[in-house]
C-alpha cells in the first residue's frame, strides 16, 4: 500500500473523530460552546438537592446558560452556584430563581421566572438568591409521617365504629328502638282517633256553639248601645254636673270662711269659744238643765208642782239643792 495513501486515510479518520468529539461536546454542553460570550451570576441557595454541575439554566423554558460550578459558601450553611449565562439574554434583578425538576424523576435545573422586567439587569459577578428547592426525600419523610397519622386516625375511627356497634347498635338497643317505633305508631293511631272524636264532637255541637256565638254578638251589640247611651247621658248632663261641682266648691269656701270667723272669735259661736267665763256659765246652765230633766223624768210634772213638802229630817240631795227655784216660768 502507498505510504501517502495510508497517511491520508489516517488523517481522515482523525478528522472524523474530532468532528464526533465536537458534536459530543456540543451535545453534553446542551447547546453552549466555549466560543459564545457569557457572564456569571452567583446564585446562593440553602440546598441544591440533586442539582449537578453542568445542569441547564432555563428562563421561561428556554435554555440561557449552564451551571458551571457548585461550591459551599463561606458560612458553611448555604451553597453558591455559579451560572454561566449567554450575553444575548438579559435578566432583570426582579426575576425569581428556583431549583426545579423535570418531571417526577427527571434532572434538576435552575429556573428563572421573569417578573415585571423592571429595574437594572444582572452583570458579570452579581449575586442572587434562589428559592428552597423541592426535596423529594423530605417530602417522602413528611408523607410517611402523614401516612402514619392517617393510619392512627383510621385505627381510632375503627375503634369508635366498633364502640358504636357494641353500645348503640346492640341487639338490646335495636329491640328498644323497634318497640319505640311501635309505640309511636300506636300513639299516632290514637291521636288520629282522638282527632276524629273531636271533629265529631264539634260537628254535633255546632248549633249550640253557633247560638252561643250569636248571643255573644247580641250581648256585644247591647253593650255597645249601653256605652253609647252612657256617653249621651254624660254629654247631656255635663252642664248640671259642672254647676253642682261648682256649688259644692262654693259651699266649701263658705264653710271655710265661717270656721275661720269662729276661730277668729267673730259671732256668737266665736264669742263662746273665746270668752272662758261665758263658756263656764253655758256649761253650768247645761248641767242644770240636765238635772231638771232628770227630776222631771223621775217625779213628773204634777209631782214637782203640787206635791206637799214633807218635813225634812235629812238634808236634801245635792241634786235638788242645785235645782233652780223656778224651773218653769
Q: What is the mean pLDDT of residues 302-317?
A: 54
Burial annotation 202-239 (CB, 10 A radius, 16+ → b, else e):
eeeeeeeeeeeeeeeeeeeeeeeeeeeeeeeeeeeeee
**For 267-306, what is each residue's pLDDT tens digit?**
666 666 666 776 677 778 878 887 877 777 776 655 555 5
**Residue 246 corresponds to which cell in the numbers above?**
261648682
Confidence (pLDDT) at 84? 92
**For 171-213, what is each residue's pLDDT tens digit?**
777 788 888 888 988 898 888 888 888 878 777 877 877 888 8
Beta strands in the chain (DSSP E): 38-45, 56-59, 62-72, 79-86, 96-101, 108-113, 126-129
- Short-list 93, 70, 72, 91, CA closest to 82: 70
Q: In angstroms, rounded to a whole number, what is the distance separating the alpha carbons of residues 42 and 55?
A: 15
3-state secondary structure 55-93: CEEEECCEEEEEEEEEEECCCCCCEEEEEEEECCCCCEC
Q: In angstroms, rounded to a whole number, what is the distance separating the alpha carbons of residues 259 and 2?
A: 177
Give the percent of the chain with pLDDT over 90: 7
Q: Residue 233: pLDDT above 60?
A: yes
Q: Residue 237: pLDDT above 70?
A: yes
Q: What is the mean pLDDT of residues 68-73?
A: 89
Q: In angstroms, rounded to a whole number, what is the distance separating the alpha carbons of residues 131 and 100?
A: 10
Q: Residue 6: pLDDT above 70?
A: yes
Q: What is the dihedral of CA 209, 212, 217, 223, to 10 degrees?
A: -150
Q: Residue 328: pLDDT above 50?
A: no
Confidence (pLDDT) at 36? 76
Q: In angstroms, rounded to a whole number, what is the distance separating the alpha carbons of residues 301 and 295?
A: 9
Q: In angstroms, rounded to a whole number, what is the distance separating the alpha carbons of residues 223 and 235?
A: 18
Q: Are the C-beta atoms of 30 and 56 separated by less than 8 Å?
A: yes
3-state secondary structure 230-254: HHHHHHHCHHHHHHHHHHHHHHHHH
Q: What is the pTM of this model?
A: 0.37
Beta strands in 254-318 (DSSP E): none
Highest mean pLDDT among 90-94, 261-265, 310-314: 90-94
Pick the more confident residue, 299 or 255. 255
Q: Look over the chain and give the mean of its residue pLDDT values, rounded to a whole number.
A: 78
- Read off the pLDDT band of 97 (50, 70, 90): very high
Among 58-67, 72-81, 163-172, which is the least confidently predicted range? 163-172
Q: Residue 329: pLDDT above 50?
A: no
105 three-class SS: coil
Confidence (pLDDT) at 321? 46
Give the chain's length.
Answer: 329
Give 306's strand partners: none
Q: What is the mean pLDDT of residues 239-245?
A: 77
102 three-class SS: coil
Q: In angstroms, rounded to a whole number, what is the distance separating the alpha carbons of residues 305 and 278?
A: 31
Q: Residue 73: pLDDT above 50?
A: yes
Amino acid at each position: 500500500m502507498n505510504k501517502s495513501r495510508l497517511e491520508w486515510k489516517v488523517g481522515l479518520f482523525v478528522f472524523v473523530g474530532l468532528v464526533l468529539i465536537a458534536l459530543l461536546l456540543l451535545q453534553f454542553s446542551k447547546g453552549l460552546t466555549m466560543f459564545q460570550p457569557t457572564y456569571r451570576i452567583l446564585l446562593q441557595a440553602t440546598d441544591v438537592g440533586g442539582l449537578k454541575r453542568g445542569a441547564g439554566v432555563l428562563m421561561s423554558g428556554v435554555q440561557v446558560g449552564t451551571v458551571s460550578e457548585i461550591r459551599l459558601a463561606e458560612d458553611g450553611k448555604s451553597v453558591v452556584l455559579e451560572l454561566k449565562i449567554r450575553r444575548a439574554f438579559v435578566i432583570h434583578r426582579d426575576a425569581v430563581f428556583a431549583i426545579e425538576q423535570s418531571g417526577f424523576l427527571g434532572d434538576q435545573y435552575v429556573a428563572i421566572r421573569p417578573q415585571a422586567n423592571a429595574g437594572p439587569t444582572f452583570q458579570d459577578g452579581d449575586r442572587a438568591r434562589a428559592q428552597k428547592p423541592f426535596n423529594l426525600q423530605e417530602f417522602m419523610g413528611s408523607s410517611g409521617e402523614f401516612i402514619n397519622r392517617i393510619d392512627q386516625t383510621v385505627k381510632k375511627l375503627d375503634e369508635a365504629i366498633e364502640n358504636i356497634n357494641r353500645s348503640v347498635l346492640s341487639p338490646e338497643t335495636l329491640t328498644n328502638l323497634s318497640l319505640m317505633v311501635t309505640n309511636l305508631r300506636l300513639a299516632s293511631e290514637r291521636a288520629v282517633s282522638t282527632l276524629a272524636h273531636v271533629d265529631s264532637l264539634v260537628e254535633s255541637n255546632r248549633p249550640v256553639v253557633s247560638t252561643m256565638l250569636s248571643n255573644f254578638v247580641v250581648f256585644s251589640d247591647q253593650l255597645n248601645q249601653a256605652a253609647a247611651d252612657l256617653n249621651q247621658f254624660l254629654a247631656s248632663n255635663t252642664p248640671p254636673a259642672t254647676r253642682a261641682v261648682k256649688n259644692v266648691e262654693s259651699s266649701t269656701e263658705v264653710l271655710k270662711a265661717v270656721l275661720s270667723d269662729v276661730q277668729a272669735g267673730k259671732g256668737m259661736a266665736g264669742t263662746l269659744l273665746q270668752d272662758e267665763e261665758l263658756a263656764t256659765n253655758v256649761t253650768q246652765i247645761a248641767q242644770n238643765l240636765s238635772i231638771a230633766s232628770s227630776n222631771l223624768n223621775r217625779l213628773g210634772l204634777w209631782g214637782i208642782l203640787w206635791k206637799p213638802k214633807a218635813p225634812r229630817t235629812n238634808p236634801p240631795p245635792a241634786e235638788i239643792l242645785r235645782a233652780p227655784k223656778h224651773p218653769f216660768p
